């Protein structure tokens, strides 16, 4: 590694992949935009199309018509009307994508649980990233109660970008959190790719929880140095910061201080319902942040 520190083979492979541009984590070639067709999806739509234009990516836009067999039997005309309205909206969105030269395909699904359809559509189309909106600034309690956004994060195989309704395409700074693990490296790979695409500076942060011994603090410092050196090697303007406190609070507050308009954090990958309901740092950051958050798998 760049600082001479021993790491596991997964981390070494991750950084080698960054150098060769072969890492699937760093790819943004195929996106799934999950949209409700409301003001709550406006930010996600704008960011998804902007990201696709910068990355030369294809966009699949998904609308889910909420229904079940009983509802369809009782009100078939209403279900049909909702489906037609969704198709019309997707067609309009496709025209917007065409203005930017973005390859686009609209998807319409019926289901009782939106997150199930989003996750399945992502798998069916083998997308690199799901882009979705967030209705409100939710607290941890709401996430633990089974918020649809948290469920997508918990069950999707790919990374998820969550965009508050009023957020534009990132234009100021990216903040990426790392703890020196393979998850931290994965987040850094994605942050590096986006920083290059959007020509943005990056702040790298590692958070020590009170009670960490000196060895853990040294590991955090070394992780920051290693990531910063890697990003500098990519020609990216980068700074490293080591903080102490509750990780999600430090990350969210530091993003405000640095005026970062994109936060990148790692996720533990697929999680079962029990793990999901316990919450995670990534899910709490999504719930508390006022800017877009990329949760990297």
pLDDT in tens, 247-268: 999 999 999 999 999 999 998 6
Which of 138, 164, 190 is the last residue in one of the domains? 164
C-alpha 107/C-alpha 217 separation (Å) is 47
Higher pLDDT, 9 or 232: 232
Distance of CA 292 to the CA centre of its chain: 8
C-alpha 191/C-alpha 72 separation (Å) is 44
Contacts of 185 (CB under 8 A, 6+ apart): 10, 11, 14, 15, 178, 227
Distance of CA 160 to the CA centre of its chain: 3
For the ranges 13-17, 180-184, 238-242, the lowest mean pLDDT is seen at 13-17
Does 68 lie in the same domain as 13?
A: no
CA angle 262–40–32, rounded 5-degree value: 65
- Quote the domain boundaries for residue 140: 25-164
For the ranges 61-70, 109-118, 261-270, the lowest mean pLDDT is seen at 261-270
CA distances from 269 to 18, 152, 183, 221 (A): 19, 11, 9, 25
pLDDT tens track for 209-240: 887 788 888 988 999 999 999 999 999 999 99
3-state secondary structure of 236: coil
What average pLDDT does range 90-109 have in this prediction?
97
Does 69 lie in the same domain as 200?
A: no
Does 202 lie in the same domain as 110?
A: no
Domain contains 78: yes
How many structural domains are present in the chain? 2
The confidence score (pLDDT) of residue 182 equals: 85
What is the token pair recorded at 37?
Answer: 């067709």
Judged against a pLDDT cut of 90, whether residue 19 lies above it is answered with: no
C-alpha 182/C-alpha 12 separation (Å) is 9
pLDDT tens track for 125-171: 999 999 999 875 444 444 433 478 888 988 899 999 999 988 999 99
Contact call for residues 75 and 83 (beta carbons, < 8 A): no
The confidence score (pLDDT) of residue 279 equals: 53
Does 290 lie in the same domain as 175?
A: yes
Domain contains 71: yes
Does 198 lie in the same domain as 98?
A: no
Does 182 lie in the same domain as 258?
A: yes
Question: pTM (2 decimals)?
Answer: 0.86
Place of tokens 């509802």: 71
Identify the CA nearest to 289 among candidates 267, 266, 263, 265. Answer: 263
Domain contains 1: no
Does 35 lie in the same domain as 13?
A: no
Which of 164, 191, 225 is the last residue in one of the domains? 164
What is the pLDDT of the chain when averaged over all its residues?
85
Torsions phi, psi of 263, nearest 5?
A: -110, 135
Which of 139, 164, 189 is the last residue in one of the domains? 164
Domain contains 3: no
Does 16 lie in the same domain as 142?
A: no
Torsions phi, psi of 67, nearest 5?
A: -165, 170
C-alpha 9/C-alpha 99 separation (Å) is 44
CATH of the domain at 173: 3.40.50.620
Higher pLDDT, 4 or 196: 196
Identify the CA nearest to 192 among candidates 174, 205, 207. Answer: 174
The confidence score (pLDDT) of residue 97 equals: 97
What average pLDDT does range 203-210 have in this prediction?
92
Domain contains 4: no
What is the token pair recorded at 83?
Answer: 């489906």
pLDDT above 90: percentage of residues in the chain: 62
Domain contains 77: yes
Does 189 lie in the same domain as 268?
A: yes
Does 235 lie in the same domain as 129?
A: no
Does 150 lie in the same domain as 174?
A: no
The confidence score (pLDDT) of residue 114 equals: 92
Per-residue pLDDT band for 27 (boundaries 50, 70, 90) equals confident
Does 124 lie in the same domain as 15?
A: no
């Amino acid at each position: 590694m760049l600082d001479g520190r021993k790491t596991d083979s997964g981390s070494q492979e991750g950084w080698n992949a960054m150098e060769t541009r072969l890492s699937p984590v760093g790819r943004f070639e195929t996106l799934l935009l999950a949209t409700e067709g409301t003001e709550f999806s406006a930010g996600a739509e704008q960011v998804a199309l902007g990201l696709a234009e910068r990355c030369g990516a294809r966009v699949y836009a998904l609308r889910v018509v909420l229904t079940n067999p009983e509802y369809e039997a009782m009100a078939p005309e209403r279900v049909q009307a909702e489906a037609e309205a969704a198709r019309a909206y997707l067609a309009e969105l496709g025209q917007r994508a065409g203005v930017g030269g973005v390859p686009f395909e609209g998807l319409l699904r019926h289901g009782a649980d939106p997150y199930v359809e989003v996750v399945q559509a992502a798998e069916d189309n083998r997308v690199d990233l799901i882009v979705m909106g967030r209705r409100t600034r939710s607290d941890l309690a709401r996430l633990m109660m089974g918020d649809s956004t948290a469920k997508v994060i918990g069950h999707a195989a790919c990374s998820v970008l969550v965009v508050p309704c009023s957020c534009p395409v990132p234009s100021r700074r990216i903040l990426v959190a790392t703890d020196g693990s393979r998850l931290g490296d994965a987040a850094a790979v994605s942050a590096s790719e986006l920083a290059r695409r959007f020509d943005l500076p990056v702040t790298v942060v590692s958070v020590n929880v009170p009670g960490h011994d000196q060895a853990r603090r040294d590991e955090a410092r070394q992780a920051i140095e290693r990531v910063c050196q890697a990003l500098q090697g990519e020609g990216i303007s980068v700074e490293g910061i080591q903080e102490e406190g509750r990780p999600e609070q430090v990350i969210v507050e530091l993003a405000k201080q640095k005026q970062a308009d994109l936060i990148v954090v790692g996720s533990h990958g697929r999680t079962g319902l029990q793990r999901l309901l316990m919450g995670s740092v990534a899910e709490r950051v999504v719930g508390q942040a006022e800017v877009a958050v990329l949760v990297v798998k």
